[in-house]
Structure formats: structure tokens, C-alpha cells
A and B are shown apart, each in its own frame.
Chain A
């Protein structure tokens, strides 16, 4: 079974600075997808960014980018020019790209709570 580990329960960043959230995962599959979701106090789960394992290029979405290291099974999220609205819980998630027997579910990490200091 796949597992996703987020080793940083809490992080803090100064407004306008850059912060990196860590995520590692364990899988024997070669085809899969990785996601970062943001959960603000409103509880809404919002997709931030996704990465296909077969793509070598790191995904970017405006101020958000990932550092995907497939061999190391690492998938970190970098937030540049942090804003107060970035304060939230961030969840890393894994989804198998294989056959139906691998399941269609998202496997989530335990989350990292990000605080942004004004």
C-alpha cells in the first residue's frame, strides 16, 4: 500500500518570503500522480498543484511550484512571495496511475499547518 509522509506538522514564513513544505511517499509503482491540496480555515479542500510522475519537468502554478524527485520519492511544495491568504493546512496526496486493482483513491499525508507572519 502507498503511504504519504509529511514530516513538518507546522511551518511559519514571513510575508513575501519563500517557504518549502516537504512530502515523501512510498510506492512500488512507476505510474502515479501527486497533488498538493490547501485547506484554509473554511475547511474547503482546494487543489493547489499536481504532478504526473512520468513528467520530468516540475509543475508550476503562479507562485506555487514543486520539486519532484522521483528516485528519492520526494515531492516538496515551494510557495514564493508568501501572502497572508496562503495560511492554511497543506496536504500532499498520491494517486495510483495503474490499473483498477490499484484503486482510485487519493492517499493523503497528515498535513502541514502553514502560518504566515505579517
Chain B
């Protein structure tokens, strides 16, 4: 069974450009999470969905960040316009549901570099 799939694995862009990160959760999982990992702040939750509906986006740093989940098998995280301080590794994770016992399974991450 395929795990969480993220694309691209690496993204290098220039300040001001739009960046779109993509995630395909594990089939059958109803919850999807977007995390960001930086040296300064560690791993932090940006937003999560349950049954394609955003539940909590309080971790989204600014209005430049937006996330969508148009269907159960696809989600995007968009940054527009991007800034150098957005450089980080972005992880997508999925879990069967939102009960606390559900384990979150992480994708391989997207390393974003904004020049």
C-alpha cells in the first residue's frame, strides 16, 4: 500500500513567485495535516482537514498561505507570494480519522527554498 505522496520533493523559487505543494493521502484516510519544519521553530502544524473540510487553520502563518482539499485523495498548500523566510520542509500527513488513537503517517516532505 502506497504511503503519503508529496510532490515536488524539492522546489527552488524566487521571492514573489507562487508555490504550490501537493499531497496525496493514504487511501481510506479521512484526515490530512500540513506541517512545516524549520531549524528555528521545529515541526509545527499549519492546517488540517477532516473529510475534506478544513478544521483548524490557526497555524497558517499569514494570508499568503492557503490550503485546499478538493477531494479525498488530493490536497494543495499554496504560498503566494513566496518569501525567503518560507524556506522550510513541508510535510503532509494523513490518518484514518481524528480520534486521538489514530496515528498520523507522514509523507517524505517537500524541501522549499525561496531565493
Q: Which residue of A lies closest to B46 (CB)?
A: A105
Contact at B42–A108, with CB atoms within 8 Å? yes
CB neighbors of B among A4-61 (8 A): 31-33, 35, 37, 42-47, 50, 52
Contact at A43–B89, with CB atoms within 8 Å? yes
Contact at A45–B91, with CB atoms within 8 Å? yes
Residues on A with C-beta less than 8 A from B109 are: 43-45
Residues on B with C-beta less than 8 A from A98 are: 100
Of the candidates B42, B48, B89, B103, the one whose C-beta lies within 8 Å of that of A104 is B48
CA distance A100 to B31 in the complex (A): 14
- A113 contacts B by Cβ under 8 Å: no
Main secondary structure of the interface of B (DSSP, over half): strand
Contact at B101–A52, with CB atoms within 8 Å? yes
A44 touching B106 in the complex, CB below 8 Å, given contacts A52-B101, A108-B42: yes
- A95 contacts B by Cβ under 8 Å: yes
Residues on A with C-beta less than 8 A from B48 are: 104-105
Minimum C-beta distance from A10 to chain B (A): 14
CA distance A44 to B110 in the complex (A): 10
Of the candidates B43, B56, B108, B111, the one whose C-beta lies within 8 Å of that of A103 is B56
Contact at B31–A104, with CB atoms within 8 Å? yes
A-B contact pairs, 29 of them (CB 8 A): A31-B100, A32-B100, A35-B103, A42-B108, A43-B89, A43-B108, A43-B111, A44-B106, A44-B109, A45-B93, A45-B109, A46-B106, A47-B104, A47-B105, A52-B101, A91-B43, A97-B100, A97-B101, A98-B100, A100-B98, A104-B31, A104-B48, A104-B55, A104-B98, A104-B100, A105-B48, A105-B56, A106-B43, A108-B42
